[in-house]
Amino acid sequence: DVKVTQSSRYLVKRTGEKVFLECVQDMDHENMFWYRQDPGLGLRLIYFSYDVKMKEKGDIPEGYSVSREKKERFSLILESASTNQTSMYLCASSLGSLGGSELGPYNEQFFGPGTRLTVL
């Protein structure tokens, strides 16, 4: 079974703190993703990575950065946490694509259990 783990289920931080959220997958997936989930807004993509040391901005990258030094690990960093970053954060991974504009067989994203972050 694919397993995606996240370092914490619940986290409470203070405004201005630097926050690290860690995600590890054990299935040798090329792609990894960070989302935040807020009521009424669904899941929104923050950053994703399709290879080690590669990263791409998602839809809401402001206030966040990421790091992928090893294939199995993808970290989300809040350089200076703010109260509007209180949210549920979900990590996901998937196999790499075949390339090109045509989609090949689907590669579902496997999700971790989520980290509920509260910034006070």
Partner 1 sequence: AQKITQTQPGMFVQEKEAVTLDCTYDTSDQSYGLFWYKQPSSGEMIFLIYQGSYDEQNATEGRYSLNFQKARKSANLVISASQLGDSAMYFCAMRTSNFGNEKLTFGTGTRLTIIP
Please report whether residue 98 would count as binding partner 1 according to CB under 8 A: yes
Our CB check for partner 1 shows the closer of 10 and 69 to be 10
Cα dist from 40 to 34, 37, 72, 82, 104, whole Å: 18, 9, 31, 20, 31
The answer to the question of residue 40 lying near partner 1 (CB under 8 A) is: yes
Cβ–Cβ < 8 Å for 33, 45:
yes
C-alpha torsion sign, points 22, 26, 31, 35: negative
Residue 102 C-beta: closest distance to partner 1, Å? 5
Binding site for partner 1 (CB under 8 A): 31, 33, 35, 40-45, 48, 50, 56, 58, 88, 90, 92, 94, 96-103, 106-114
